[in-house]
């Protein structure tokens, strides 16, 4: 499933780095799990995945229980579900449609069409494939700022600096890095970002060629850890 900021290209590589930091029996927690591009590779071991976006978490929980997304969503149904989401309705179908049937995996950013593709079916098959590795994951609807982890390996993939969150507000990067410093006192914290404060070091990086519309560029995925 397409998802803004998803790690489709390097999910397995990132997961290998995260797992290498884990001691036997230690819990891995991903507080910004998104569509689970990395989570699917984080086994074996106790794994907790959370996100502040409730419809997304309800989607993951429903698939764990056997629910399957539809093969297609028409534009009229998309608009109707968007209206329900705007009114505060939360459901697995809304969580699926808001990302899977929207341009570039952005939350209800316009109905995805064109190229003769069935974006809905592609997203469904992608999610069901990933969930074969996520059967025993604990999914929770959680704001990372309300938690106090201890002795865990934490893989944090937050919204990138300067980007908007689900509610249309700019993600608070300053508070995020303060929290990562605090968590690092009692946990192993690994952060995925393009840039980090000077007291964090790069522990892994990989370039990939990205094509979006008529633009193409080389971007570098990086993982950081407190020095």
Tell me the pLDDT tens digit for each residue of 58-81: 999 999 999 999 999 999 999 999
Asked whether the beta carbons of 144 and 179 are under 8 A apart, the reply is yes
pLDDT at residue 25 tops 90: no
- If residue 121 lies in a helix (H) or strand (E), which one and from where to where? helix 119-131
Between 99 and 8, the more confident residue is 99
**Residues 193-218: tens digit of each pLDDT:** 999 999 999 999 998 765 444 455 77
Report if residue 105 sits inside a domain: yes
Burial class (CB in 10 A: 0-12, 13-18, 19+), 131: middle
Compute the C-alpha angle 63/49/23, nearest 5°. Answer: 130
Residue 149 CA to residue 11 CA, distance in Å, equals 23
**Residues 2-19: tens digit of each pLDDT:** 555 457 778 999 999 999
Q: How many CA atoms lie within 13 A of 19 on its CB side?
A: 16
pLDDT of amino acid 166: 52
Question: What beta strand segments (E) does 63-137 contain?
Answer: none
Report if residue 37 sits inside a domain: yes
Q: How many CA atoms lie within 13 A of 40 on its CB side?
A: 21
- Its pTM stands at 0.91
- If residue 92 lies in a helix (H) or strand (E), which one and from where to where? helix 92-100
| Number of domains forming the structure of the chain | 1
Report if residue 212 sits inside a domain: yes
pLDDT of amino acid 100: 93
Report if residue 86 sits inside a domain: yes
pLDDT at residue 86 tops 90: yes
Asked whether the beta carbons of 15 and 38 are under 8 A apart, the reply is yes
pLDDT of amino acid 170: 79
Across 145-154, 165-174, 210-219, which has the greatest mean pLDDT? Answer: 145-154
Between 197 and 171, the more confident residue is 197
Residue 9 CA to residue 207 CA, distance in Å, equals 10
Report if residue 1 sits inside a domain: no
Asked whether the beta carbons of 58 and 97 are under 8 A apart, the reply is no
Report if residue 2 sits inside a domain: no
Would residue 114 be called left, alpha or beta, if left means φ above 0 and alpha means ψ between -120 and 50 degrees? left
Residue 45 lies in domain = 11-226
Cβ count near 223 (within 10 Å): 24
pLDDT at residue 191 tops 50: yes
* Gyration radius of the chain over CA positions: 17
Report if residue 3 sits inside a domain: no
Report if residue 4 sits inside a domain: no
Residue 58 CA to residue 96 CA, distance in Å, equals 9
The domain spanning residue 183 has which CATH number? 3.40.50.150
């Amino acid at each position: 499933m397409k998802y803004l900021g998803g790690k489709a290209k390097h999910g397995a590589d990132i997961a290998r780095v995260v797992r290498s930091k884990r001691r036997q029996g230690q819990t891995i927690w991903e507080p910004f799990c998104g569509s689970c591009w990395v989570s699917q590779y984080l086994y074996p071991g106790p794994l907790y995945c959370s996100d502040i976006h409730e419809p997304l978490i309800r989607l993951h929980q429903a698939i764990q229980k056997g629910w399957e997304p539809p093969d297609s969503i028409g534009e009229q149904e998309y608009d109707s579900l968007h209206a329900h989401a705007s009114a505060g309705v939360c459901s697995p179908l809304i969580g699926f449609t808001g990302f899977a049937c929207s341009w570039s995996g952005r939350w209800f950013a316009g109905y995805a069409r064109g190229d003769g593709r069935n974006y809905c079916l592609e997203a469904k098959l992608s999610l069901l494939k990933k969930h074969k590795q996520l059967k025993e994951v604990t999914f929770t609807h959680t704001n990372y700022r309300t938690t106090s982890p201890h002795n865990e390996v934490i893989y944090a993939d937050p919204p990138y600096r300067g980007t908007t969150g689900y509610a249309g507000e700019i993600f608070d990067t300053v508070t995020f890095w303060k929290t990562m410093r605090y968590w690092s006192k009692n946990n192993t914290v690994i952060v995925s970002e393009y840039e980090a404060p000077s007291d964090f070091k790069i522990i892994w990086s990989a370039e990939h060629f990205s094509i979006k519309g008529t633009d193409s560029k080389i971007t570098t995925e990086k993982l950081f850890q407190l020095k």
